[in-house]
Chains A and B, each alone.
Chain A
Amino acid sequence: MQIKILLTVCFTLVFSGCATKKPMYDYDEYSETFYAMKRETSNETQAEFKNTLETIIAKSEKQSMRVPPGVYANLGYFYLKANDENKAISYFELEKSTYPEAIHFMDRLINKVKTEL
């Protein structure tokens, strides 16, 4: 009977959301640098945001974590705007292979880049 109570306690605690687990993603300074870029868009704040995206990828790979959704794509977009199409496409491909949900959108972008080359 005591086990049953203990189980109930555990069950209820888990479902009321107090379980601590290893976080799913490492976002590094994502929200800080994103916010700084929105507050004041300049070459400097954009470069900092781009650096953060690169750091997220490096840190995630080091910890064998999945790179958070959209990070590869966003970095690819920076390269696209800097007219480095090949690098852009390689990041869009990485987004696709990490997240099948992105295939449709990434293929659309890749096709667009290729027809404009």
Chain B
Amino acid sequence: MNKFNLIIVSLIILAITGCANTLVTKEQEFPQMYNEKPRSLLIMPPINISTAADAKDYYATTVEMPIAFQGYYTFPYEMTSEILKQEGIHDSELVYDMPLDKFHEYFGADAVLFTKIVKWDTSYLVLASNLTVSIDAEIKSTKTSKTLWKYNGTVVIDLTGNNGGGGMVGLIAGVVATAINTAAADYTTYARQANGRFIGTVPVGPYHPLYLKDQLVKIQQQPQQ
């Protein structure tokens, strides 16, 4: 038994737990998070570039909890989004490229979380329909206005389920099932799954037991856009 074997064992476990692509440590990927150590995050109203107009309000209800569980102080979203509106910020896109120090001044926020709903729609194919929810998320410093962390979470769900086949009857049944499933689809469930794809890559915050101890945790590297 030597070091080589240990490495093999580690690799096998990592592969089994589903992180087969390019792996990097959190510290390698997001060093600025460990330098700045933000304690509080102001969640901005989502930027919505999807085709679903109502996605913004619905998606917004799914962001606070996972960020809090990741160990950060999250400002009460319902309240802060109303205040931002009163201050004339209806659209986060307007402030995305601006200096963010005013959010520190007003709220005392160390950093700001932007989310962008890239896709939130159902694509109808002849015999199937897919639901895609895709979210770009980004944490920016209110000190430097620079990006501290950035990741994407996407889920694609086959809404037709097991399309039982069986000629014309099967076809019609499939179409009916699609219509029913689509109407009943609670997209926030899938939004939470999409959030789950990126949330674990955020270096944990001060209320998490692993605070400043997760530098070597491996995450999947994302292609830079």
A101 with B200, Cβ < 8 A, contacts A38-B58, A73-B79, A74-B78 known: no
Where chain A touches its partner, the secondary structure class is helix
CB contacts (< 8 Å) of B6 on chain A: these are: 4-5, 8
Say yes or no: is B73 at the interface (Cβ < 8 Å to chain A).
yes
A52-81 CB mask vs B (1 if < 8 Å, else 0) is 000000000000001011110110010000
B17 touches A16 (CB 8 A): yes
Interface residues of A (CB under 8 A from B): 1, 4-5, 8-9, 12-13, 15-18, 21, 23-25, 27, 30-31, 34-35, 38-39, 49, 66, 68-71, 73-74, 77, 99, 101-105, 108
B58 touches A101 (CB 8 A): no
A8 touches B76 (CB 8 A): no
* Total A-B Cβ pairs within 8 A: 104
- Interface size bracket, B side: 35 or more
| Contacts A24-B71, A25-B69 known; 20 new A-B pairs at CB < 8 A | A15-B218, A16-B13, A17-B217, A18-B17, A31-B65, A34-B61, A34-B78, A35-B58, A38-B61, A66-B207, A69-B68, A69-B72, A69-B75, A71-B76, A74-B76, A74-B79, A102-B40, A104-B108, A105-B108, A108-B106
A16 touches B108 (CB 8 A): no
Interface residues of B (CB under 8 A from A): 1, 5-6, 9-10, 13-14, 17, 19, 39-40, 57-58, 60-62, 64-65, 68-69, 71-79, 106-108, 110, 188, 200, 207-209, 214, 216-218
B79 touches A77 (CB 8 A): yes
4 closest A-B pairs by beta carbon, nearest first, are: A104-B108, A70-B76, A101-B73, A101-B40
A13 touches B76 (CB 8 A): no
B75 touches A70 (CB 8 A): yes
